[in-house]
């Protein structure tokens, strides 16, 4: 996923680690994660509960107040980690924006949606009330809300789930950010409404050249929207690859397992699903080795010495053709580890 | 279906919730649902949120009191039975819920949760505990964990306990309401496989309520698609999935993202406009007409009845202009 030299990535994350202090000791929710997203491209981050995918997105936005965040997050070449809150505030909304699963938690119930979008615009551009209001209405129209001038005067609860998600997208994009982080934006929506929202994001991306990070648990959504994919497990990257390579030849046994365990519309129903045994790991006491080892069919079938390595040593990400894969037993994984900082 | 009387026969089931005083009209959550379920058969009830699928399931097992209609179970209308008269039937009619952790009593051990339906039927404590241990094993849990509490189990394991509880009394009908949708993707398949195995080995009929069309295709023999309180299409799964007759079924199927990027790029998608309508103020005529790409004048005026889609086919569809493909 290395950015080509002539086209530097808009977002570049290196060695990101997020540690929370809890009553039961430190929890490393994200561990040594690196990825990059270019303008006009979509990175899909896939993972299950506790994989660290949402923590990652909040860390990029600088929204973790109680956690220790190390590593580097660069937006268009500018380092964001360690920036004072005031500086971050200037970037958030203006150059990078985020949308969430539940729009109601991101919208203020006491203000009309028009006021909320307009305020956003006034804060970042210092525009006057009338101009900001006009911008809000225009934005609501752009995200496909019928009769935007009237609906700008309504409150969040007066919108349906799908329309609320559109309002949040309008708010996120009102100041023309270059990076959009979407954290499970369609998980709470019905499938027909999900299709509308994904189409909307794709259209806006195309018009504005947005870089998008799409965080989801749904491999179907990833297949539909992503150019590159990062599969997370237990806070780490299990595999990174271009979308076609990932689905055609998953290199990590976890990716393989996820794909095999999905019931599919486009497949027969004769053989039982190949389920992954066990459940996702707890981050409270992580295994010393590969987080997936306890559930891994490849480790289970390996010779004792190999299995001991899976259980005892963390696998590093290695390049294997188009993939980066963190697996001791991946057949493709060449011996050379990934080079230094890109 | 076969000539034998169905195990469950639902006719014109209606469930109306009163509107908030002075604020809104009554909500017809279920608005005349009829279907049959044969012994040992699995029927999927699918649809989007608010379509009435869960309410239908709950009204059938009488967790809700249906407003109108009949629910004939094994030849007997149970829709008006008093709870007391219903009690002996409870061993035959069981339910599995979506969120295993909120549907299991956190202060009870697994043993007590699973044995509870047996104790309620008057079984002796020692026998019920023995049976609970067998059921733990049957659903893939360790019988040594009988005395653990729900929070000591993962989501998938807790759902296994919920299933064991439902199986305890040897039911002939299990209503499963979104039994896998709260689980992690990697765990869903375990529960789907478990339910398929139990269905094969023990043979209860399932009413499988879900919004995930891929899971339903996997688990069910027949599928009923609901929209705004009504069934719009019902038939053998092979037919409904391969050649959907109702425009809503078509749109629903085409909206599901496939985990296959190459297929996704070339796929024809029917994008519906707008949101599902408010069930307190359903549109006139066919309730799907405001979103339907095929709607014509008659659709705005007249509600289509659920009827046989094509001669010689068991599949039924409620549409004035169903797809006529083979």
**Judging by DSSP bridges, how do beta strands A323-325 and A236-242 pair with one another?**
antiparallel
Question: Which residue among B214, B217, B276 places its CB closest to the CB of A190?
Answer: B276
Which residues of chain A does B261 touch, with a Cβ-Cβ cutoff of 8 Å?
223-224, 226, 243-244, 247
Cβ separation B184–A265 shorter than 8 A: no
Per-residue model confidence (pLDDT) at position A2: 46
Q: What is the ipTM of this complex?
A: 0.88
Local structure of A216: helix, strand or coil: strand
Residues near A147 by Cβ (< 8 Å), separated by ≥ 6? none
A158 touches chain B (CB under 8 A): no
- E strands in chain B: 8-17, 27-37, 42-46, 68-73, 76-77, 93-96, 173-177, 205-210, 222-227, 230-236, 307-308, 316-317
Per-residue model confidence (pLDDT) at position B22: 64
Local structure of A149: helix, strand or coil: helix
Phi, psi dihedral angles at A142 (to 5 degrees): -65, -30
| Average pLDDT of span A142-148 | 92
What's the CA gap between A179 and A209, in Å, rounded? 9
Q: How far apart are the first and last CA of chain B?
A: 20
Q: How far is A286 from chain B (nearest CA, A)?
A: 16
Cβ separation A259–B262 shorter than 8 A: no
Q: Is the pLDDT of residue A230 over 70?
A: yes
Read out DSSP for A20-63?
A: EEETTEEEEEEEEEEEEE-TT-EEEEE--TTSSHHHHHHHHTT-
Q: Is the pLDDT of residue A160 over 80?
A: yes
- Tell me how many helices (H) and strands (E) chain A has: 13, 12
What does pLDDT average to over chain B?
92
Which residues of chain B does A265 touch, with a Cβ-Cβ cutoff of 8 Å?
213-214, 217, 241, 253, 256, 258
| Residue in chain A nearest B189 by alpha carbon | A275
Q: Is the pLDDT of residue A342 over 60?
A: no
Cβ separation A275–B193 shorter than 8 A: yes
Which residues of chain A does B257 touch, with a Cβ-Cβ cutoff of 8 Å?
194-195, 198, 218, 220-221, 223-224
pLDDT category at A272 given cuts 50, 70, 90 is: confident
Per-residue model confidence (pLDDT) at position A5: 46
Q: A239-243, long-range: CB within 8 Å, 24+ apart, which pairs?
A: A239/A323, A239/A324, A239/A325, A239/A326, A239/A327, A240/A1, A240/A35, A240/A317, A240/A323, A240/A324, A240/A325, A241/A1, A241/A322, A241/A323, A241/A324, A242/A1, A242/A322, A243/A44, A243/B261
Per-residue model confidence (pLDDT) at position A341: 34
Q: How far is B119 from chain A (nearest CA, A)?
A: 31
Per-residue model confidence (pLDDT) at position A65: 76
Q: How far is A88 from chain B (nearest CA, A)?
A: 34
Task: Tell me the pLDDT tens digit for each residue of B286-299.
Answer: 999 999 999 999 99
Per-residue model confidence (pLDDT) at position A245: 97
Per-residue model confidence (pLDDT) at position B153: 93
Q: Which spans in B139-212 are helix H?
A: 155-167, 185-202
Which residues of chain A does B157 touch, with a Cβ-Cβ cutoff of 8 Å?
279
Cβ separation A273–B258 shorter than 8 A: no
What is the percent of chain B where pLDDT is above 90?
80
B258 touches chain A (CB under 8 A): yes
CB A122 within 8 A of CB B236: no
Mutate to test the interface with A, among B140, B184, B186 (most CBs of A within 10 A): B186
Between A267 and B183, the more confident residue is B183
B1 touches chain A (CB under 8 A): no
| Average pLDDT of span B225-251 | 95
Between B275 and B136, the more confident residue is B136
Could you count the other beta carbons within 10 Å of the beta carbon of residue B282? 17
What does pLDDT average to over chain A?
90
What is the percent of chain A where pLDDT is above 90?
75
Among the listed residues B30, B184, B65, B212, the one whose alpha carbon sits nearest the alpha carbon of residue A295: B184
| Residue in chain B nearest A220 by alpha carbon | B259
H/E element, A97: strand A96-99
B275 touches chain A (CB under 8 A): yes
State CA A261 to chain mean position distance: 22
Between A256 and A7, the more confident residue is A256
| Average pLDDT of span A270-292 | 88
pLDDT category at A283 given cuts 50, 70, 90 is: confident
Q: How far is A122 from chain B (nearest CA, A)?
A: 31
Global confidence as pTM:
0.90
- The CA-atom distances, in angstroms, between A195 and each of A19, A202, A224, B248, B269 are 35, 11, 10, 14, 9
Return the CA Rg of chain A.
Answer: 21
pLDDT category at A334 given cuts 50, 70, 90 is: very low
Tokens (6 digits) for B139 = 């659903």
Fold of B8-92+171-317: Rossmann fold (3.40.50)
Tokens (6 digits) for B65 = 């009191």
Task: Tell me the pLDDT tens digit for each residue of A189-213.
Answer: 889 999 999 999 999 999 999 999 9
Domain boundaries, chain B: 8-92+171-317, 105-169
What's the CA gap between A258 and A48, in Å, rounded? 10
**Judging by DSSP bridges, how do beta strands A67-75 and A78-79 pair with one another?**
antiparallel
Q: Is the pLDDT of residue B3 over 90?
A: no
| Residue in chain A nearest B195 by alpha carbon | A272
What's the CA gap between B46 and B37, in Å, rounded? 15
């Amino acid at each position: 996923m290395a950015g080509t030299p002539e086209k530097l990535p808009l977002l570049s994350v290196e060695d990101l680690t997020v540690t929370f202090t809890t009553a039961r000791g430190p929890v490393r929710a994200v561990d040594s994660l690196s990825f990059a997203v270019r303008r006009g491209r979509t990175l899909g981050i896939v993972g299950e509960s506790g994989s660290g995918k949402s923590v990652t997105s909040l860390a990029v936005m600088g929204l973790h107040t109680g956690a220790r965040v190390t590593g580097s997050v660069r937006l268009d070449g500018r380092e964001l980690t360690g920036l004072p809150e005031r500086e971050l505030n200037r970037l958030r909304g203006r150059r990078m924006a985020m949308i969430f699963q539940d729009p109601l938690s991101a919208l203020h119930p006491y203000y009309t949606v028009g006021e909320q979008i307009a305020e956003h615009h006034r804060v970042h551009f210092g525009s006057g009330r009338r101009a900001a209001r006009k911008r809000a209405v225009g934005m609501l129209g752009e995200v496909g809300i019928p009769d935007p001038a009237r609906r700008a005067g309504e409150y969040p609860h007066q919108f349906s789930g799908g329309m609320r998600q559109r309002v949040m997208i309008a708010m996120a994009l009102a100041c023309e950010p270059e990076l959009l982080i979407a954290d499970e934006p369609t998980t709470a929506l019905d499938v027909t409404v999900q299709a509308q929202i994904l189409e909307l994001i794709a259209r806006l991306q195309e018009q504005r050249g947005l870089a998008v990070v799409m965080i989801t648990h749904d491999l179907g959504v990833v297949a539909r929207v992503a150019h590159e994919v990062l599969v997370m497990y237990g806070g780490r990257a299990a595999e990174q690859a271009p979308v076609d390579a990932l689905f055609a030849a998953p290199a990590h046994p976890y990716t393989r397992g996820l794909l095999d365990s999905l019931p599919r519309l486009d497949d027969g129903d004769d053989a039982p699903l190949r389920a992954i045994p066990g459940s996702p790991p707890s981050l409270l006491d992580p295994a010393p080795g590969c987080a997936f080892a306890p559930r891994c069919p490849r480790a289970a079938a390996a010779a004792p010495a190999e299995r001991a390595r899976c259980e005892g040593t963390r696998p590093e990400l290695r390049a294997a053709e188009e993939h980066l894969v963190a697996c001791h037993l991946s057949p493709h994984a060449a011996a050379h580890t990934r080079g230094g900082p890109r | 279906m076969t000539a034998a009387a169905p195990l469950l026969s639902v006719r014109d089931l209606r469930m109306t919730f009163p509107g908030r005083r002075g604020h809104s009209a009554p909500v017809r959550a279920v608005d005349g649902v009829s279907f049959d379920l044969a012994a040992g058969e699995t029927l999927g009830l699918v649809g989007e949120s608010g379509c009435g699928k869960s309410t239908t399931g709950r009204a059938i097992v009488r967790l809700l009191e249906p407003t109108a209609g009949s629910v004939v179970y094994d030849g007997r209308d149970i829709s008006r039975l008093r709870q007391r008269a219903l009690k002996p039937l409870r061993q035959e009619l069981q339910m599995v819920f979506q969120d295993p952790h909120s549907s299991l009593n956190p202060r009870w051990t697994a043993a007590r949760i699973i044995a509870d339906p047996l104790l309620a039927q008057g079984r002796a404590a020692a026998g019920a505990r023995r049976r609970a241990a067998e059921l733990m094993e049957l659903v893939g849990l360790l019988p040594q964990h009988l005395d653990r509490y729900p929070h000591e189990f993962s989501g998938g394991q807790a759902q296994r306990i919920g299933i064991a509880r439902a199986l305890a009394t040897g039911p002939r009908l299990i209503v499963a309401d979104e039994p896998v949708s709260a689980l992690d993707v990697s765990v869903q398949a375990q529960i789907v496989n478990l339910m398929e195995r139990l269905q094969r080995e023990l043979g209860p009929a399932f009413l499988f309520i879900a919004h995930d069309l891929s899971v339903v295709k996997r688990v069910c023999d027949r599928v009923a698609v609901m929209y705004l309180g009504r069934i719009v299409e019902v038939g053998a799964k092979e037919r409904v999935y391969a050649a959907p007759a109702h425009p809503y079924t078509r749109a629903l199927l085409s909206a599901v993202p496939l985990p296959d990027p190459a297929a996704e790029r070339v796929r024809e998608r029917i994008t519906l406009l707008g949101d599902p309508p408010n069930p307190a103020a359903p549109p006139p005529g066919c309730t799907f007409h405001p979103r339907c790409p095929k709607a014509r004048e008659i659709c705005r005026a007249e509600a289509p009845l659920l009827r046989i889609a094509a001669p010689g086919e068991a599949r039924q569809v409620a549409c004035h202009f169903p797809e006529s493909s083979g």
